[in-house]
Amino acid sequence: MGIKFAGAAGAQAIENATKQTNARYQPELYWGKPGSEEATKYIQLIGDENSFYTFLTHNMMQVGTYTNKQGQTKTKYETFISPRDPNVQGAEGVDIIEQRFGLKPKPRTFAIAVEMEPTIEQSKSKSGKVVNAITGFSVKTRTYKDKDNVEHVAPVVGVIHQSPYTETFFPWFTDYANNHDLSEHVFEVTKKDEGTNLRFYIEAAGDALDLSAEDLDVEAEVKNLHEYIEYLADSSRMAELVGALPDEAILDPWRQNKADAKAKPAAKAAKAEPQEEEAEAPSNEVVETDGFAALRNRFAGAK
């Protein structure tokens, strides 16, 4: 596809944005709800700040439904990188989500990380209070079964993506990288709030592990990230999944419903107003909106 990764990489791409496959890893590392145990993760980034890539993205678009193993009908979500991103096809690209549904793509920054498991040592203070201290880290693992029902153990390596406008995430890391080497640390990342108030607390929690000693090929994992981004930016995939949808389809309920809500009061007022026989009909102009977005579990399975 010829994506220009150099143009999308690093702190400058994040700053510019705010001014304007591999079965061994899960496609995305998720943080749970604030206050829950899953709200905190210990991660070691693969690569440095130049391995952060920022693209115009349609995140978590509703493109249909599917039936799960329990026979339940679930909404199918897909994420797309816009063909019109300057590092994909640029002005020559055709973004049918923006064209047909008025949803403009928004900048999103992608990176890849290994999730770590802290080693906790408990001790008691003089007052008798139990104190937990982190003494080291190991790579967190997951188990899965292949098509022959053979169980495997694999490291939890996955894509992280957040808006570059979330100042307490990628901008925090790029600021930290001004005086530190990101690859030398394990970071404790805690989700403190969510929604429109999304906020994280991040701090260096310990020394990074030698990933080569953990049977992790850093270059291969960065290549996996590149392949995953190319998959998200495949315009034929967008055409296949979105092209067949009806014009009235709701891809992003939050933004499209918000636009409808803005339009409804005006429509009501126009209806209540007495009309002359030859009066001009109320406008049916569609209000253009912006987008909201989660990556699909494309790479689940066995290597």
φ and ψ at residue 259, rounded to 5 degrees = -65, -40
Structure-block tokens of residue 181 = 């080497």
Per residue in 136-184, pLDDT (tens digit) is 999 998 888 888 888 888 888 889 999 999 999 999 999 999 999 999 9
Is residue 294 in some structural domain? no
Is residue 288 in some structural domain? no
pTM score, whole prediction: 0.73
- Residue 90: how many CA atoms within 13 Å on its side-chain side? 6
Structure-block tokens of residue 78 = 């897909």
Query: Count of CB atoms within 10 A of residue 208's CB?
Result: 18
290 pLDDT exceeds 70? no
Rounded CA gap, 267 and 270, in Å? Answer: 5
Among the listed residues 152, 166, 161, 159, the one whose alpha carbon sits nearest the alpha carbon of residue 115? 159
Instruction: Check residue 277 and give its pLDDT.
Output: 36
Rounded CA gap, 273 and 243, in Å? Answer: 39
The answer to whether residues 102 and 291 touch, using CB atoms and an 8 Å cutoff, is no
Is residue 141 in some structural domain? yes
Is residue 87 in some structural domain? yes
Is residue 272 in some structural domain? no
Rounded CA gap, 95 and 105, in Å? Answer: 9
Per residue in 195-235, pLDDT (tens digit) is 889 999 999 999 999 988 877 777 788 788 888 889 999 99
Among the listed residues 11, 97, 59, 53, the one whose alpha carbon sits nearest the alpha carbon of residue 230? 53
Per residue in 5-28, pLDDT (tens digit) is 666 665 655 555 544 433 333 468
Residue 184's domain spans which residues? 5-248
Is residue 275 in some structural domain? no
Instruction: Check residue 287 and give its pLDDT.
Output: 31
Amino acid code (one letter) for 144: Y
Instruction: Supply the DSSP symbol for 9.
Output: B
Is residue 54 in some structural domain? yes
Is residue 284 in some structural domain? no
| Domain total in the chain | 1
Rounded CA gap, 27 and 140, in Å? Answer: 15
Instruction: Supply the DSSP symbol for 285.
Output: P
Length of the chain: 303
The answer to whether residues 114 and 139 touch, using CB atoms and an 8 Å cutoff, is yes
Rounded CA gap, 176 and 184, in Å? Answer: 12
Rounded CA gap, 189 and 40, in Å? Answer: 6
